């Protein structure tokens, strides 16, 4: 154990800051390239404070740490630093699937050991991992006599931003869970927000506040206390403290991704790097790919999940969707409403759901054999209706059943209002839990482990927020956790800026099952989606998921053979990803290199304004020739008019030395396949 020397610049910052005038320590450390630094000390009352700076500029001003407990005195004042340790780490690891095949994990770690000077004499460590694009820190409590059992009432971690700025955030604790549009306000006007919160500070620096590796803990929301200071606000448990622990415990990582601009935020690997490596084992059985689905007609209200005249999951319909998938090289077909339990009001009422009992008009033996013969697999669907213990009780046999019928992926769902998830304890007592509560974070890990036993992957709708856990549990391949395409079926459609928002907010959590590709641009009752057709194609590249839906109906796709070619071609697994340009909520251009192949794909989306994006093609292999197959908005395309389907499909020979300019229509986008010429 050695005490860190105080850096010159850090010492100046401390002295300049009256709140740290009496700081003991301070200790500090910088990221491997010196970009991001942290200082840590205690003030005159023995409060632990930390700061974060980037390129010498303060990002987080002195901010407090600590905890409230339900049964003992809080940890907050009367702390002393008993020692520090630093360590350098630099390793590259491979993702079984993803946006990058290999990821470098390079950080400097600073551990600050603390002890209370009170009779309780509790001890803990705050561990910082400093990256050149941000920092993660967590509390680590060893097993100790005065903390045999820990009952957390709240976490007192503060994030006192050193400047005001613009924040993109969504409210926490409201009935519709995580399915709110991102709000754009001043940071100093945020109330209580779910994370990630993305902030563009006054000087242009972009910061995303979130958490990594949320396991066996309550999810962290943040509440603005005053000015530009946010404080942790842990999700409640039902009939119990927010977090309960026995023996030693850690928090998840509290994370700040920091970059010059919005693309820099997306390009960070901090979220994945702060998660533990794959705990499950071999993933070679999982093949990323697209899926069609007996789905959009239900979302539009034309078919039903329940049995009866409008039942969607009939043998005839499913066979037609399998034929469509096979004809278009789509390897999977989702079927919803295939099982008993949907009749009546299933919203928040999942007690009748049985994921081993198909309805009479869904012959699973015949259909899975029919699919297999055509090179297609069924995707299972487990809609719990929020009856979570009921699901826990049938989970093992449900995944066994899915595997028996050749399913590689199951989509799960938890449709009920916030704080209505039913937990039934062994003594029969019932509770209503929050999605982000400690009990639910553990439930999702149970799903991952159970599904893996049968080599099944899953895609959770109405999920706990993503915190990079797909590194540790790589069969948790996607989740929803934001307003997806389904909102375009209903009234109150997603606005044109929605996707340019979620790339820099929700997508920092990990893959999203957005369900793109509604080429008809029609929702329920023939209502118009606020998008051009080219934008629907762009979404396959812009919004990442290893399982990507081909969401519209076969009949609608038959009307658009030109654009359909892009959907057929675009893969869902990548060696490399680059964000070429973008501003939160305005536009973004992303290019990705197909995994194990030479082609690149580009997606660009804008908002309600027309705009032109220009970029270099220097991501292409120098010296190679490519044909750019371009799908762009027609010159008169506009999401507000009957020209929303206007698209130009053209080809051009290009190389890495070229540039490209694309015009995005209002509500528009562009998609390009760069096909390498052999
Ligand atoms: C909500 C999901 O997001 C949607 O995809 C699904 O069809 C319904 N729940 C029914 O499970
Ligand atoms: Ca905008």
Q: Give pLDDT tens digits for 292-336.
A: 999 999 999 999 999 999 999 999 999 999 999 999 999 999 999
pLDDT of 15 higher than 50 = no
Q: Are 238 and 307 in a shared domain?
A: no
By most ligand atoms within 8 Å of CB, the mutation choice from 302, 381, 383 for ligand 1 is 383
Q: Are 307 and 269 in a shared domain?
A: no
For residue 501, CA distances in Å to 173, 505, 585, 646 come to 21, 6, 4, 24
pLDDT of 187 higher than 80 = yes
Q: 408-441, pLDDT tens digit by residue?
A: 999 999 999 999 999 999 999 999 999 999 999 9
Q: 194-204, pLDDT tens digit by residue?
A: 999 999 999 99
Which residues, 6 or more positions from 13, have their beta carbon under 8 angstroms from its beta carbon?
Answer: 39, 51, 53, 58
pLDDT of 137 higher than 60 = yes
Domain for residue 170, yes or no? yes
Q: Would you say the CB of residue 575 lies under 6 angstroms from ligand 1?
A: no
Q: Are 137 and 195 in a shared domain?
A: yes
Q: Are 259 and 303 in a shared domain?
A: no
Q: Say if CB 274 and CB 558 are below 8 A apart.
A: no
Domain for residue 631, yes or no? no
How close is the Cα of 413 to the center of ligand 1, in Å? 6
Find the catalytic residue in 486, 499, 509, 629: 486
Q: Are 262 and 298 in a shared domain?
A: no
Task: Give the CA angle between residues 461, 463, 465 to the nearest 5°.
Answer: 135
Q: What is the dihedral of CA 70, 248, 449, 102, to 10 degrees?
A: 120
Domain for residue 667, yes or no? no
Q: For the chain, what is the domain count?
A: 2
H or E segment to which residue 11 belongs: helix 8-16
Structural tokens at position 8: 């010159």
Q: Are 440 and 533 in a shared domain?
A: yes
Mean pLDDT of the chain: 96
Domain for residue 38, yes or no? yes
Which of 5-9, 253-257, 477-481 shows the lowest mean pLDDT across its residues? 5-9
Q: Are 264 and 149 in a shared domain?
A: yes
Domain for residue 581, yes or no? no
**Nearest CA, atom 2, ligand 1:** 461
| Domain ranges, residue 429 | 291-572
pLDDT of 158 higher than 60 = yes
Which residues, 6 or more positions from 420, have their beta carbon under 8 angstroms from its beta carbon?
Answer: 348, 386, 432
Q: Are 329 and 203 in a shared domain?
A: no
Our answer to whether residue 480 is catalytic in this structure is: no
The pLDDT, as a whole number, for residue 25 is 75
The pLDDT, as a whole number, for residue 22 is 54
Report the candidate in 507, 569, 558, 497 with the shortest Cα–Cα distance to residue 531: 497
Structural tokens at position 138: 């967590």
Q: Say if CB 284 and CB 475 are below 8 A apart.
A: no
How close is the Cα of 123 to the center of ligand 1, in Å? 46
The pLDDT, as a whole number, for residue 20 is 46
How close is the Cα of 296 to the center of ligand 1, in Å? 10
Q: What is the pTM (predicted TM-score) of this model? A: 0.96
The pLDDT, as a whole number, for residue 17 is 44
Where is the domain boundary, 539, 557, 572?
Answer: 572
Q: Which atom of ligand 1 is nearest to the CA of 299?
A: 7
Q: Are 412 and 488 in a shared domain?
A: yes
Q: Are 342 and 412 in a shared domain?
A: yes
Q: Are 306 and 171 in a shared domain?
A: no
Q: Say if CB 133 and CB 208 are below 8 A apart.
A: no
Q: Are 198 and 313 in a shared domain?
A: no
Mean pLDDT computed over 646-660: 98
Q: Which atom of ligand 1 is nearest to the CA of 413?
A: 11
The pLDDT, as a whole number, for residue 23 is 61
Domain for residue 621, yes or no? no
Domain for residue 321, yes or no? yes
Domain for residue 284, yes or no? no
Mean pLDDT computed over 487-516: 98
DSSP string, 52-113: EEETTEEEEEEEE--EEESSS--B-SSEEEEEEEEEEEEEEEE-SSSS-SEEEEEEEEEEEE
Find the CATH number of the domain harbouring 489.
Answer: 3.20.20.70
Ligand closest to the CA atom of residue 295: 1
How close is the Cα of 608 to the center of ligand 2, in Å? 7
Q: Would you say the CB of residue 415 lies under 6 angstroms from ligand 1?
A: yes
CA distance 500 to 140: 37
Which residues, 6 or more positions from 109, have their beta carbon under 8 angstroms from its beta carbon?
Answer: 85, 86, 87, 88, 89, 127, 128, 129, 130
The pLDDT, as a whole number, for residue 573 is 99
Bridge partner list, 647: 633
How close is the Cα of 195 to the center of ligand 2, in Å? 20
Q: How far out from the chain centre does Cα 76 lie?
A: 32
pLDDT of 8 higher than 80 = no
Q: Would you say the CB of residue 383 lies under 6 angstroms from ligand 1?
A: yes
The pLDDT, as a whole number, for residue 162 is 98
Where is the domain boundary, 572, 604, 627?
Answer: 572
Find the CATH number of the domain harbouring 240.
Answer: 2.70.98.10
**102 class by beta-carbon count within 10 Å (0-12 exposed, 13-18 middle, 19+ buried):** exposed
Bridge partner list, 155: 67
Which residues, 6 or more positions from 34, have their beta carbon under 8 angstroms from its beta carbon?
Answer: none
Say how many C-beta atoms besides its own lie within 10 A of residue 274's C-beta. Answer: 26
Task: Please state whether the peptide bond connecting residue 430 to the residue before it is cis, i.e. omega within 30 degrees of 0.
Answer: no
CA distance 255 to 138: 9
Mean pLDDT computed over 160-185: 97
Where is the domain boundary, 572, 590, 625?
Answer: 572
The pLDDT, as a whole number, for residue 21 is 45
Say how many C-beta atoms besides its own lie within 10 A of residue 323's C-beta. Answer: 15
Strands 229-234 and 158-161: antiparallel
pLDDT of 640 higher than 60 = yes
Task: Give the CA angle between residues 382, 436, 99 to the nearest 5°.
Answer: 70
Q: Would you say the CB of residue 336 lies under 6 angstroms from ligand 1?
A: yes
Q: Would you say the CB of residue 413 lies under 6 angstroms from ligand 1?
A: yes
The pLDDT, as a whole number, for residue 2 is 26
b/e per residue 338-374 (b: at least 16 CB within 10 A): bbbbbeeebeebbebbebeebbeebbbeebbebbeee
DSSP string, 537-564: HHHHHHS--SEEE--S-HHHHHT-HHHH
Mean pLDDT computed over 265-291: 98
H or E segment to which residue 164 belongs: none
Q: Which atom of ligand 1 is nearest to the CA of 298?
A: 7
Q: Which atom of ligand 1 is nearest to the CA of 305?
A: 10
Q: 359-398, pLDDT tens digit by residue?
A: 999 999 999 999 999 999 999 999 999 999 999 999 999 9
CA distance 443 to 463: 11
Q: How many residues does the chain have?
A: 678
pLDDT of 19 higher than 90 = no
């Amino acid at each position: 154990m050695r005490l860190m020397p105080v850096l010159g610049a850090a010492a100046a910052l401390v002295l300049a800051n009256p709140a740290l005038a009496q700081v003991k320590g301070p200790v500090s450390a910088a990221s491997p390239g010196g970009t991001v630094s942290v200082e840590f000390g205690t003030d005159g009352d023995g409060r632990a404070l930390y700061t974060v700076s980037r390129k010498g500029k303060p990002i987080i001003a002195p901010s407090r740490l600590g905890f409230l407990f339900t049964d003992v005195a809080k940890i907050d004042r009367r702390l002393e630093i008993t020692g520090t340790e630093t360590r350098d780490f630099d390793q590259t690891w491979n993702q079984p699937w993803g946006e990058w095949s290999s990821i470098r994990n390079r950080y400097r770690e600073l551990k600050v050991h603390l002890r209370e000077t009170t009779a309780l004499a509790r001890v803990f460590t705050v561990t910082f991992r400093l990256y050149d694009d941000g920092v993660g820190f967590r509390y680590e409590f060893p097993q100790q006599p005065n903390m045999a059992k820990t009952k957390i009432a709240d976490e007192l971690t503060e994030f006192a931003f050193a400047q005001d700025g613009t924040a993109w955030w969504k409210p926490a604790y409201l009935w519709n869970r995580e399915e709110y549009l991102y709000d754009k306000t001043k940071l100093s006007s945020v109330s209580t927000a779910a994370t990630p919160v993305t902030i563009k500070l006054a000087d242009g620096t972009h910061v995303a506040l979130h958490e990594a590796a949320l396991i066996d803990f309550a999810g962290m929301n943040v509440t603005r206390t005053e000015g530009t200071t946010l404080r942790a606000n842990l999700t409640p448990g039902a009939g119990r403290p927010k977090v309960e622990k026995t023996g030693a415990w850690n928090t998840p990582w509290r994370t700040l991704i920091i970059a010059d601009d919005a693309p820099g935020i997306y390009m960070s690997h901090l979220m994945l790097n702060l998660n533990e490596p794959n705990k499950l084992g071999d993933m070679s059985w999982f093949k990323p790919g697209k899926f069609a689905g007996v789905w959009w007609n239900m979302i539009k209200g034309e078919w039903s999940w329940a049995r009866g005249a409008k039942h969607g999951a009939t043998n005839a319909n499913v066979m037609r969707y399998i034929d469509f998938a096979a004809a278009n090289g789509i390897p999977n077909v989702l079927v919803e409403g295939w099982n008993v339990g949907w009749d009546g009001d299933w919203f928040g009422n999942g007690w009748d759901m049985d994921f081993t009992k198909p309805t009479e008009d869904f012959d699973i033996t015949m259909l899975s054999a029919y699919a297999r013969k055509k090179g297609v697999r069924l995707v299972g669907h487990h809609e719990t209706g929020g009856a979570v213990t009921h699901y826990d009780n049938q989970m093992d046999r449900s995944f066994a059943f899915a595997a028996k019928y050749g399913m590689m992926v199951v989509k799960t769902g938890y449709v009920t209002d916030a704080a209505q998830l039913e937990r039934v304890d062994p003594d029969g007592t019932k509770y209503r839990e929050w999605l982000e509560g400690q009990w639910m974070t553990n439930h999702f890990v149970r799903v991952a482990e159970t599904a893996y036993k049968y080599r099944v992957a899953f895609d959770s709708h109405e999920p706990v927020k993503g915190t990079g856990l797909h590194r540790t549990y790589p069969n948790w391949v996607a989740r929803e956790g934001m307003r997806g395409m389904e909102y375009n079926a209903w009234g109150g459609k997603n606005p044109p800026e929605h996707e340019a928002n979620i790339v820099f907010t929700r997508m920092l959590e990990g893959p999203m099952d957005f369900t793109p590709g509604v080429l008809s641009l029609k929702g329920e009752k023939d209502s118009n989606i606020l998008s051009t057709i080219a934008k629907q194609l762009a979404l396959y590249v812009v919004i990442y998921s290893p399982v990507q839906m081909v969401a519209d109906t076969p009949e609608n796709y038959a009307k658009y053979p030109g654009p359909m070619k892009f959907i057929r071609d675009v893969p869902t697994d990548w060696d490399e990803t680059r964000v070429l340009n973008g501003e939160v909520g305005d536009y973004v251009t992303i290019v990705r290199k197909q995994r194990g192949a030479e082609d690149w794909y580009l997606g660009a989306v804008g908002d309600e304004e027309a705009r032109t994006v220009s970029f270099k093609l220097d991501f292409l292999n120098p010296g190679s020739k490519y044909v750019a197959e371009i799908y762009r908005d027609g010159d008169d395309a506009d999401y507000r008019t009957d020209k929303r389907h206007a698209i130009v499909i053209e080809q051009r020979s290009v190389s890495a030395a070229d540039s490209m300019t694309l015009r995005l229509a209002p509500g528009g986008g562009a998609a390009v396949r760069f096909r390498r010429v052999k």
